[in-house]
Homo-oligomer: A and B are copies of this chain.
Amino acid sequence: MLIWALYDVSDDKQRNHVAKVLLNAGLERVQYSVFVGDLDPNRFDELVIAAERIVEEQDSVYFFPQCRPDFDRMRIVGAGFDAKRVASELLTDFF
């Protein structure tokens, strides 16, 4: 399933650690703090558990599963605009 991951992590080291975990799980980075990919439900659960081990209480990582109709309705304003195009290119199997 299509998963968007966005984080707000203040500590540099922890942020890099989270980024590495997201990339290792197979997500692609489409903006500095935004990742997207196609994960099966088990892999998604594992990724969430891995993130829970790293992220401190004051920080956060959002994981948004997204169905095709919601992808089509999604809007990105500004630099992030490319993220939607990139996602549709990356996730050819999904689309």
Measured in the bound complex, the distance between the Cα atoms of B80 and A48 in whole Å is 13
Tell which of B58, B66, B78, B80 touches A78, judged by Cβ atoms closer than 8 Å: B58
The minimal Cβ–Cβ distance linking A90 to chain B, given in whole angstroms, is: 17
Give the residue of B8, B69, B75, B79 whose beta carbon is less than 8 angstroms from that of A32: B8
Does residue A64 face the partner (Cβ distance < 8 Å to B)? yes
Q: Contact at A78–B55, with CB atoms within 8 Å?
A: yes
A70 contacts partner chain B, Cβ-Cβ < 8 Å? yes
Q: How many angstroms from the CA of A8 to the CA of B78 in the assembled complex?
A: 10
Interface residues of chain A, those whose CB is within 8 Å of chain B, are: 1, 4, 6, 8-9, 31-34, 44, 48, 51-52, 55-67, 69-70, 73-81, 83
